Amino acid sequence: MHPTTLAYRAPDPAVVNLLGDLGRSHAEVVKALRILHAEYGRLTPHLISEVARELRLPISHVYGIATFYSLLTTPAPSEKTIRICDGPYCMMRGAVNLLSQIQSQLDESWTITRTSCLGLCDRAPAALVGDSQVGPVQLKDMDRYESGWCGVLSDYGRPRPYEIRALLPDPGAKNDPLGVAFDKGEYPALKKALRMSPDAILHELEASKLRGRGGAGFPAGRKWRLVASRAQRPKYVVCNADESEPLSFKDRVLIDSCPQLVLEGMAIVGYAVGAEAGYVYIRGEYGIQVERLLGAIDEAEDCGLLGSHIGGTAFSFPVHVHQGAGAYICGEETALLESLEGKRGEPRVRPPYPADFGYRGRPTVVSNVETLAAVPMILARGADWYRSLGDPDMPGTKLYTLLGEVNRPGLFEGPFRLTLRQIINDFGEGMREGSSFHFALTGGAAGTLVPLSLMDVPIDFDSASRGVALGSGGILICDQSASPLRMVRELVRFFELESCGKCTPCRIGVHEMRRILDRMLEGEVLPGDGKRLAQLSQLLQYASLCGLGMSVSKPVQSALQHFPDLFATNGTP
Amino acid sequence: MELHKFERRAMKLQVTINGRPFKAESGMTVLDVARAHGIEIPTLCNHPDLKPVGSCRLCMVEIEPQGDLATACTLQLYEGLEVQTETARLVQIRKSILELLLEDYADAGYAAGDREETEFERWLTHYGVHRRTGSSAQLRYPINSDPNPVLWVDRNKCVLCKRCVRSCAEIQGRFVWGVGERGHRVRIIAGADTGLLEARCESCGTCVAYCPTGALDDRMSVGLGKAERTVATTCTYCGVGCQLDLNVRDNRIIRVTTRSPSPVNGLQACVKGRYGYDFVHHPDRLKRPRVRRCLLEDRKRPAEGRGDWVEVDWDAALNLVADKFRRIKASYGPDAIGVMASAKCTNEENYLMQKLARQVIGTHNVDHCARLCHSSTVAGLALCYGSGAMSNTMEDVARDAQALFIIGSNTTEQHPVFGVKLRQAILRRGVPLVVADPRRIDITEFATLHLKLRPGTDVALINGIMQIVLTNGWQDQQFIDQRCEEFEPFYEAVLAYTPEKVSDITGLPVEQLQEAAEILTRHRPMAVIWSMGITQHTTGVLNVLALGNLQMLLGNIGVPGGGVNPLRGQNNVQGACDTGALPNYLPGYQSVTDASVQEKFNTAWQLEIRNGAAGQNATFRLSDAAGLTVTEMIDGSGAGKIRGLYILGENPAMTDPDALHAGQCMAACDFVVLQDIFPSETAAMADVLLPGVSWAEKEGSFTNTDRHIQLVRRAIDPVGEARPDWYIIADLARRILEREDRVPAGLQAAWLYEDPSEIMKEIASLTPIYGGISHERLQRGDQLHWPVPTDDHSGTPILHIGKFTRGKGRFHVTDHLPPKEMPDSEYPLVLTTGRVLYHWHGAEMTRRSHALMELYPETVVEISPEDAEKIGLNGKTSVRVKSRRGEMIAKALVTSRVCPGLIFGNFHFPGLQNVNNLTIEALDPVAKIPEYKVCAVRVESI
């Protein structure tokens, strides 16, 4: 090495102490960087080198992480930072103007910046002030946010008409909701599971026809059976709580209202597949939910329901919480695993799938919060009971997050196979006065733009082929004032900002698409732009490395299909 | 169990590519099979040497019957797999991807004429992709964004294949390159987005070799145009023997490239090999012979020095030298002449040097710098195993060793490409590494255990480890019983080295000794690797014997991945020894005292008096006493015993211990001939300078550290009137014989060689271990490690299989002895010496390489932070270091690489900057190697 790099530098005691506290674990590098960023406001080359030296990691590796996660890249100490959400719904509720208005109102000590959907759509326009979730943000309340006020919380305590509640607490229910059982110091379903053979548990879960709630709808029992069948050890259960899909906030509400159900579900799956430990990977913007989960884990451990020798059996299952630092891509299961290992959240090529090569290369379950939360009730009440809920072919309940120009937006629990018409009229209590349905965005940013003609398509995990995606259950109803072109541009811009940049089609293709859409919005289209947009979206569908890239094509292709005139360039699409 | 493993490995699969059936093995990818059968699938991010990442998406193929898409580089084969590699849809996808890459790619054109086409350009042409109309190449980054003196970084041409990132990590083990930001803003970064050097870049250029676009380029070659030809040759620097392609234009080397796959190094090279070539064209090159004016005018030498130089023609110079040597021989006898051969020169030249000494002059006074590096290895291993060379190859050590023990070798700096192979073994196979070194050298970053022993306590350490092995019964008793002798006395002696006693001597905690013994015995075969840290001690031979004992004790001999692996320093130090440039051995380690050997050479090299009486004209008979070593020749010239010196490509004034003394001795010598490419520091004491040529200007062969004989090929014409060294030596020999009226009579006695391949024929005919070596075979690509007894023998990569060269391996009792000079109150610090990555020995070449001097411009002494404080360095950067013999002035590098009480200096810089002003000429009693590694010094800040 060059002599200058060999010169002695005294270690920075701040970094040494911090990493000592974190156990010098490579997986904690993101946490260490978050803490240093909060303290110094900027991750300087010095801090990055010091962290690398203490952890014995390459400097380039730490730098790569420090510039990957959006919460680490803002040049400001966190307590003086306001991040305004520019998700599709917050935009609709005036987030853009808000940003400039706040900028003019606050002094220079504040840093005001945008951020991708915060999962606070029910409090739009939302923001993070420091680490606190705030919303709806109103200019007149700026002083109060500083002193810790966080706006108005949504109340999902009582079901709305037509709701079927199985997951969420239902004060009026005949059976005690399972989430309440913990108040008595029990995980009743886990208790039952520990008396069963892993095979019997898996059998029950498979029989329930439960499908993964993260968006793809893969049969959950089958995935867990695969991991259970692997001989390699240790194995892990990872709960994907990186809920970052625009319009989706169901996992946040679940963790807020019944964290024990999620943990119990993890423990049951852990027992069934023979896992040694569980990890909850939760997005960096869910600070309060992290606290909530950590508190819940403490309580459960105190009751002997998590940790070692659960219920006096040989089964031990500690659960750890790992907080992300701002990256939509980490919701993709292999990117999540990379991030969990303390790396940049770049997806791996699949196969091998996590069932074979997961966390630290071991067989790993990666399942969504909502999926895992459904496990205790299936075990406690049986697969037959679960199949009796909702639609027989796609049984159980689903959490929907309904937003937009309806009279009663917000989260509700319902069966599969609802139509948009039912959702708007029955659950949303109709279109808002003065609004008429123009189009909907279903399934989040990775979903579909749905025209009026598809109002009566029953929505489930398989309905995307009929033009209406369910995804993770986010639905945005737009009226005549909204433009599908602008919506698609916003979604593509979101994907551009959130692309990890690993594969060519996504890194450059999405950037190109956004530039074309910008031109279309500005009315400055170039010849062939429309055709190129379609071509690029097909390339992304065919050639992207991971689901994110493939997702980009969904809203674009549905918009091109249903609203071709808007994308026409000089009359020639 | 074994059978099962075998079956799994050999599992055959039937797959179909483009309708053609292929047999393949499980574990391969579609791309592997396609490549093996010449089916072209475009790739950018993939390289056969690197782990596939599937990120450029260019190699997508369709899986039949559904037409599912997958990247060929990551698609693992399975039975019955059918793929199509070039459908209309795939072509469309590839075009789109290339088009996208082209959107972000901007070539400012400065290197347009440097290459035929890059890999990226090749695919653009292949698929007929052009920049889209309306889009323009925007330079998003500076075209020359890194100040590194050898690497050129232009991110505008980067396609984010990340081969640089992966080759730096997976091949080089440095992890300098990384990826920063995300999405469309992703770019390659060095360290924390600093300059490459700050990011701990070694400037090896591996990333350049892997770059498919020219975004990373060789700075020195940018804009120099295309090579007219490339010439494959063997590197001139260290003993690893990397294969390099010299790119030549207008009779100049304009670039050095590497090829994959090529033996030894593949695409790798180190900073010296790849970028240290410009010394060849340095203005200091000797272009005509020079003679001192007083000699020409037959006057006495001036009182001070030797007077002016006069340039003369070759006849004048060689006649003068021939006359002088003949006269010295006539007046003082042949043993008054000393011949120093050169580990930098070819096998053929070294053979000629010793033939000149022995046949023409008639003395065994021939030696070379191996005396100063591995004479203790050669002596020690000859005693215990019967062969002084590295027993295994770099390849099998890197591939098969289950544990590595590096003791006294700064492998990653001195044998960089082998160091890299060891890093790979550790990174890829998780091989545990134990390093014993007083300094925290680079490779300790990869070590399971670093034993920071006190300098000069190696015997105690090795004995201590063996004591633990024996008390636990971990030795390989079967190996010892069947293949070794003299175990009992050794056993008795080693038991005295209790962990406590050894801890006292070495300064290492008892637990570390225990841990080392466990690591080294639990993982077998274990390879022990050493270099100057073992040999350059007054106990050099004992150190080697102790390591020989260790490997016999553990049964690590004669197996791939084990063995004794002394790393030879110079490009051809192994070959110079092999070809007899040693005072006690004729070529092939045939002893000068062996009567049958003498007989053989007396016949082969026989000379007759011209027109002499029949039957009485035999004039040649080998002396039967060994000659003088390098150090003895130098001392002898000071004492009047040596009257004439013929030095080929060595620089004793720089590299001998107590260099001032060495200089005084040579100054006193009657007649010194130096044959070199530069007027080195030794030139000041020379009477005649004969301009030889660099390795790029001649033919021949080098033998690398693992006994691998490889060709050196001429790439350019000799500079000026310089001549290939083999040609000069033969010419001189003929002139001396002519003056003595002697003519060749023996079969190998003549000095008429058309080219070096004829010299190699002569070597082969007289040297059993080289018996099957010929330039024809090497030219054909035969990879030969000696012994190669016959033409049809395929070489001997691993020695001592089944039987030691000497029969049974012999255990020796080795006892710890302290170094000659220990610190005291007057000279309180220990000085240890060595080399650095960027320079080479006396640095006659590397100090004349522009880039290497920019990277490492002056001598540096490493001092611990604790000592720096004691000395009161306090931010000052210069120090004066004094020993009982002299002083040096150096830049101080305060670093925890050295521990308190120890400083480190290098011998690459001349005059007051030379650490050999300080070193002690204390010799190992057997090998006569000086103790460069320990002496006592004092440091003052200035």
Nearest CB neighbour to A505, from listed B97, B194, B197: B97
Residues of B in contact with A6 (CB under 8 A): 862, 893, 895, 897
User: Under an 8 A CB cutoff, do A7 and B894 touch?
Assistant: yes
User: Under an 8 A CB cutoff, do A58 and B185 touch?
Assistant: no
The pLDDT-based confidence of B135 (bands split at 50, 70, 90) is low
Which of A4, A5, A8, A492 should we substitute to test contact with B (largest number of B Cβ atoms within 10 Å)?
A8
Task: Tell me what the mean pLDDT of segment A530-537 comes to.
Answer: 94
Residues of B in contact with A327 (CB under 8 A): 182
> Is A570 a residue whose pLDDT tops 50?
no
User: Under an 8 A CB cutoff, do A67 and B182 touch?
Assistant: yes
> Is A72 a residue whose pLDDT tops 90?
yes
Domain assignment present for A437: yes
Please say whether the beta carbons of A235 and A275 come within 8 A.
yes
Task: Tell me what the mean pLDDT of segment A8-34 comes to.
Answer: 90
Q: A68 CA to chain B: closest CA distance, Å?
A: 5
Q: A74 CA to chain B: closest CA distance, Å?
A: 12
Residue scoring higher pLDDT (B750 or A135): B750
Please say whether the beta carbons of B846 and B526 come within 8 A.
no
Nearest CB neighbour to B103, from listed A344, A508, A539: A508
Nearest CB neighbour to A68, from listed B89, B182, B897: B182
CA distance B135 to B307: 70
User: Under an 8 A CB cutoff, do B894 and A4 touch?
Assistant: no
Proportion of chain B above pLDDT 90, given as a percent: 91
User: Under an 8 A CB cutoff, do B175 and A60 touch?
Assistant: yes
Q: B156 CA to chain A: closest CA distance, Å?
A: 14
Q: In the block, which residue shows the tokens 């998700």?
A: A87
User: Under an 8 A CB cutoff, do B865 and A61 touch?
Assistant: no
Taking 3-state DSSP, the helix, strand and coil percentages for chain A, each rounded to the nearest 5, stand at 50, 15, 40
User: Under an 8 A CB cutoff, do B101 and A508 touch?
Assistant: yes
Query: Smallest Cα–Cα separation from B910: which of B864, B855, B846?
Result: B846
* DSSP-assigned states of every residue in B439-484: S--GGGGG-SEEE-PPTT-HHHHHHHHHHHHHHHT-S-HHHHHHHE
Range A261-274 burial, b when 16+ CB lie within 10 A, else e: bbbbbbbbbbbbbb
Report CA torsion sign: A55, A61, A66, A69.
negative
Task: Tell me what the mean pLDDT of segment A212-228 comes to.
Answer: 96
- Whole-number pLDDT of residue A567: 81
Task: Tell me what the mean pLDDT of segment B571-588 comes to.
Answer: 96
Residue scoring higher pLDDT (B657 or A300): A300
Question: What tokens appear for A529 in the block?
Answer: 């732009």
- Whole-number pLDDT of residue A151: 87
Nearest CB neighbour to B180, from listed A56, A67, A544: A67
What's the Rg (C-alpha) of chain B?
Answer: 29
Residues of A in contact with B203 (CB under 8 A): 2
- Domain with residue A245: its CATH number is 3.40.50.11540
User: Under an 8 A CB cutoff, do A509 and B190 touch?
Assistant: no
Residues of B in contact with A56 (CB under 8 A): 445
**Does residue A523 share a domain with residue A466?**
no
Helix, strand or coil for residue B20? strand
**Chosen domain end from A387, A406, A421:** A387
> Is B1 a residue whose pLDDT tops 50?
no
Task: Tell me what the mean pLDDT of segment B49-76 comes to.
Answer: 96
Q: In the block, which residue shows the tokens 């830049």?
A: B891
CB neighbours (10 Å) of residue A141? 14
Domain residue ranges in chain B: 11-86, 138-281, 290-297+306-373+573-692+724-766, 375-566, 829-941
CA distance B462 to B490: 13
Q: Characterise A443 by phi-psi region: left (phi > 0), alpha (psi -120 to 50), beta (else).
A: left
Domain assignment present for A145: no
Size of interface A-B (CB pairs under 8 A): 168
Please say whether the beta carbons of B385 and B391 come within 8 A.
yes
**Does residue A252 share a domain with residue A374?**
yes
> Is A571 a residue whose pLDDT tops 70?
no
pTM score, two decimals?
A: 0.94
Q: B57 CA to chain A: closest CA distance, Å?
A: 6
**Chosen domain end from A447, A482, A517:** A482
Domain assignment present for A252: yes
Task: Tell me what the mean pLDDT of segment A82-96 comes to.
Answer: 93
Instruction: Specify the CATH number of the domain B375-566.
Output: 3.40.228.10
CATH 2.40.40.20, domain B829-941, yes or no: yes
**Does residue A86 share a domain with residue A61?**
no
Q: B327 CA to chain A: closest CA distance, Å?
A: 51
Strands (E), B761-915: 784-785, 809-810, 829-834, 860-863, 878-882, 887-894, 902-906
CATH class of B290-297+306-373+573-692+724-766: alpha beta
**Does residue A288 share a domain with residue A378?**
yes
**Does residue A522 share a domain with residue A558?**
yes
**Does residue A272 share a domain with residue A298?**
yes
User: Under an 8 A CB cutoff, do A8 and B896 touch?
Assistant: yes
User: Under an 8 A CB cutoff, do B57 and A505 touch?
Assistant: yes
Whether cis (ω within 30° of 0) applies to the bond prior to B261 is: yes
- Whole-number pLDDT of residue B86: 96
Range with the lowest mean pLDDT among A38-42, B211-215, B887-891? A38-42
For domain B138-281, give the fold.
Alpha-Beta Plaits (3.30.70)
Helix, strand or coil for residue A472? coil
**Does residue A446 share a domain with residue A431?**
yes
> Is A181 a residue whose pLDDT tops 80?
no
Q: B393 CA to chain A: closest CA distance, Å?
A: 26
Question: What tokens appear for B763 in the block?
Answer: 């070597």
Give the ipTM of the model, two decimals please.
0.95
**Does residue A301 share a domain with residue A317?**
yes
- Whole-number pLDDT of residue B2: 36
Q: A359 CA to chain B: closest CA distance, Å?
A: 18
Helix, strand or coil for residue B523? coil
Q: What is the pLDDT of residues B266-323, one digit of tens each?
A: 999 999 999 999 999 999 999 999 999 999 998 988 888 899 999 999 999 999 999 9
Q: B45 CA to chain A: closest CA distance, Å?
A: 10
Please say whether the beta carbons of B711 and B693 come within 8 A.
no
Task: Tell me what the mean pLDDT of segment A45-51 comes to.
Answer: 94
Task: Tell me what the mean pLDDT of segment A481-502 comes to.
Answer: 96
Domain assignment present for A225: yes
The pLDDT-based confidence of B657 (bands split at 50, 70, 90) is confident
- Whole-number pLDDT of residue B7: 41
CA distance B810 to B384: 5
**Chosen domain end from A38, A67, A96:** A67
**Does residue A85 share a domain with residue A21?**
no
Residues of B in contact with A535 (CB under 8 A): 96
**Does residue A343 share a domain with residue A252?**
yes
User: Under an 8 A CB cutoff, do B199 and A59 touch?
Assistant: yes
Residues of B in contact with A526 (CB under 8 A): 134
Residues of B in contact with A62 (CB under 8 A): 192
The pLDDT-based confidence of B137 (bands split at 50, 70, 90) is confident
Number of domains in chain A: 5
> Is A573 a residue whose pLDDT tops 50?
no
Close Cβ partners of B389 (under 8 Å, ≥ 6 residues apart): B378, B381, B566, B574, B707, B799
> Is A198 a residue whose pLDDT tops 90?
yes
**Does residue A217 share a domain with residue A301?**
yes
Domain assignment present for A149: no
Domain assignment present for A170: no
Q: A63 CA to chain B: closest CA distance, Å?
A: 5
**C-alpha B708: how far from its chain's center?**
12
Q: Which domain holds residue A83?
A: 78-137
Q: What is the pLDDT of residues B415-434, one digit of tens each?
A: 999 999 999 999 999 999 99
Which of B57, B187, B446 should we substitute to test contact with A (largest number of A Cβ atoms within 10 Å)?
B57
**C-alpha A444: how far from its chain's center?**
11
- Whole-number pLDDT of residue B430: 95
Q: In the block, which residue shows the tokens 């090279």?
A: B269
Range with the lowest mean pLDDT among A39-43, B516-520, B809-813, B879-883? A39-43
Q: A530 CA to chain B: closest CA distance, Å?
A: 15
- Domain with residue A96: its CATH number is 3.40.30.10
> Is B172 a residue whose pLDDT tops 80?
yes
Domain assignment present for A534: yes
Residues of B in contact with A1 (CB under 8 A): 200-202, 442, 837
The C-alpha angle with vertex B874 and arms to B871 and B879, in degrees rounded to 5, equals 55
Of the CA atoms within 13 Å of residue B753, those in its CB half-sphere come to: 29
The pLDDT-based confidence of B660 (bands split at 50, 70, 90) is confident
- Whole-number pLDDT of residue A468: 97
Nearest CB neighbour to A63, from listed B189, B862, B865: B189
User: Under an 8 A CB cutoff, do B178 and A63 touch?
Assistant: yes
Which of B132, B179, B891, B903 should we substitute to test contact with A (largest number of A Cβ atoms within 10 Å)?
B179
CA distance B281 to B287: 11
Instruction: Compare all CA atoms of chain A with the CA of B189 and give the residue at the minimum distance.
Output: A60
Q: Which residues pair with B311 in a beta bridge?
A: B290
Nearest CB neighbour to B197, from listed A2, A351, A539: A2
Question: What tokens appear for A128 in the block?
Answer: 């993070």
- Whole-number pLDDT of residue B617: 64
**Does residue A353 share a domain with residue A225?**
yes
Task: Tell me what the mean pLDDT of segment B471-476 comes to.
Answer: 97
Indicate the burial class of B128 (C-beta count within 10 angstroms; 0-12, 13-18, 19 or more).
exposed
Instruction: Compare all CA atoms of chain A with the CA of B445 and give the residue at the minimum distance.
Output: A56
- Whole-number pLDDT of residue A572: 42
Q: What is the pLDDT of residues B244-272, one digit of tens each?
A: 999 999 999 999 999 988 889 999 999 99
- Whole-number pLDDT of residue B325: 97
User: Under an 8 A CB cutoff, do B893 and A526 touch?
Assistant: no
The pLDDT-based confidence of A178 (bands split at 50, 70, 90) is low
For domain B11-86, give its CATH number from 3.20.20.70, 2.30.30.830, 3.10.20.740, 3.40.390.10.
Answer: 3.10.20.740
Q: What is the mean pLDDT of chain B?
A: 94
Report CA torsion sign: B695, B581, B805, B462.
negative
